[in-house]
Amino acid sequence: MRRLSTNILPAAVVGWALVLTATPGLAQGWPAPNPQWATRETGGGLSILPLVCWWLQVVGWALTSDWITRDSAKLDLRPNLWGALAAFPFTVAALLAWVIPSSIAGQVVMALAWLIPALVYSSQHNAKVGKSDKVLTGGHMRRLFSRFMAQFGVKIEAEVEPVEALPPLTFQAAGGKSSDDNKGRLERALATEGIEEAKKILQMAVSSRASTVLMEWSPTDVNVRHEVDGVWMPRRMQAASGSRRRAEVWADEPPMERHAADAAMVSIKTLCGLDPKERRGRLAGTFAVQAEGKPRNCKLMVQSAPTGEQVLIQVDTPSVVFKSMGDLGVPKAISDTISQLLGLEKGLVVLSSPAAAGLTTTFDVVVSSADRLLRDFISIEDAATPPREIQNVKPVRYDARANITPVAALEGAMREYPAGIVTRDLRDKDLALELIKHADDSKFLIISLRASDAIDAVSKLLAVGIPPDLLARTLLGSLSQRLVRKICPKCREEIEITPEMVAKYKKTKEELATLRRPSETGCRICSGTSYFGRTAIFELASGETLRKAVSKKADAQVLRQAAAKDGMKPMRDEGMRLVLDGTTAMEEMQRVFAPKSGSESGASSR
């Protein structure tokens, strides 16, 4: 309730202005003082005390109505209906308060019109949320009082209600041959013994923002891990603290008992239409859940293991729409340069990142930023894994199953004389060479590939056999990125700046004032991970010095030095900027840039 709804307040202010203007005795100014200042004036207006009460109720109603409007929309509780129920009865009551002979009666009518809808809605709100989010409860009053007293330096040691962070969730069957098939799957799954345990597994995944759940059976128990913001970690649970000072203490969830995990898997397999008794080889299925008011598709993959099974559950997370490079966090200098390059008639733009570092999203935004309305673009794609289509970019697919090679698909597409060509995750050497030739001729080319940085991407193109002079003539720029986690804004901790830190970072104490560190335990917002969300860091290699070094087939170190002369700022420097402004932590930067082993498993990290 920090901000007032822009839909309610303007109408309310205009309405009260009309009331005050039209009320007898007020149009000519304030009525003369009356010794009985709690009664109605002879001119029809309210005396001082009723007038003050009237305005206080108006302010309270405006705040309450704004909260009801926003909260009902968030919880999908028919916001239009509740907005009307909160607004119209009080508006009528506020008008009546000016004409009812008894001022006290008028105030009572206003209070009832304000509080009754609020109380009724609160009961609806409380039924949809966990205990820690319920309103008008004893715990809610204690938390409000504690926060109020904290403003005066008074810290109250009060018991804190345990947080019920698990969101409401319902299962849905998907992937069946028909709606009746899906209905039957759901009915059979709901009748199984482990459905509640299966529900808790998915609730904890949704609550912690996990994109993947990994369950590994051992002889005695089942270890469960979540992939959150690209990092694998144990499930997190809130431990009781009993103190306001440590209201939220989070720890690793212990492994599941085998019988509970076995029962849960029977339920999920049944929901996917699989045989729960089948434990050999690999199984895969799909289902869906309804959580936080949104449907989420889930994919189940089961693989047999010596000690039992290994289960992977992928959970779709709500997608974020990025419309521009600025939305991605691309620095303005880099964004401006890329925009200029996209306006050229021919040449090559390379986009790269390590695996699972947001490259697909950046590729879509960069291609969408090109002038696709004035030039015809085609996309060379694998028919087995077609990507999301981009408006005004015609997909041209190759298919190994139909003996259509990438080069053959490109040759067929060139008969339509496209001006621009794009392709993702470039791996085919022959296709790479043909594409570079077209970029040298008259086409504008955007490709993406897996590489550790912008220079590594250029080195990989040279390594596949592209002639250095050809690549030098066509290369416009190489943009690379990585994702770093952001420190949770709620539980982050301040850092005391020491002389050693000033010497280490080569900054003044004032410049280091925004340094932050992640909490040791986390909070409810980040589900105990101490991080919330991710942002990208970028580097762009582009310029004449770089192209000259490429033409000489220089090694990576020389290419990097050449790019630096052209103005490239390494990703590490951009990452340090985020560390210094408190967005991320030094530990996170060390994790992101640590050398990756061949069997990288994304070890637990917070």
Tens of pLDDT, residue by residue over 1-26, are 333 343 444 444 444 444 444 444 43
- Per-residue pLDDT of 174-185, as tens digits, reads 988 999 999 999
pLDDT at 143 over 90: no
**Residue 104: predicted pLDDT:** 82
pLDDT at 156 over 70: no
Host H or E run for residue 267: helix 258-271
Instruction: State residue 5's pLDDT score.
Output: 40
3-state secondary structure of 296: strand
What is the pTM (predicted TM-score) of this model?
Answer: 0.70
Percentage with pLDDT > 70 across the chain: 84
- Taking alpha carbons only, the member of 217, 218, 196 closest to residue 302 is 217
**Residue 439, CB half-sphere, CA atoms under 13 Å: how many?**
27
List pLDDT tens digits, range 292-311.
778 899 999 999 888 888 99
Torsions phi, psi of 602, nearest 5?
Answer: 65, 60
Strand partners, 172: 288
Read off the pLDDT of residues 344-377 as tens digits, 9 standing for 90 and up. Answer: 999 999 999 998 888 999 999 999 999 888 889 9
Interatomic CA distance for residues 71 and 123, integer angstroms: 13
Residues of the chain with CATH 3.40.50.300: 332-592
Instruction: Please give the pLDDT value at position 544.
Output: 95
Q: Which CATH code, of 2.60.120.10, 3.30.450.90, 1.20.1440.230, 3.40.50.2300, is assigned to 169-315?
A: 3.30.450.90
Through-space distance between the first and last CA atoms of the chain, rounded to whole angstroms:
32
The closest of 378, 364, 354 to 325, measured between CA atoms, is 364
Per-residue pLDDT at 530: 92
Phi and psi, residue 349, nearest 5°: -115, 125
Domain with CATH 3.30.450.90 in the chain: 169-315
pLDDT of 326 above 60: yes
Mean pLDDT score across all residues of the chain = 83
**Assigned superfamily of 332-592:** P-loop containing nucleotide triphosphate hydrolases (3.40.50.300)
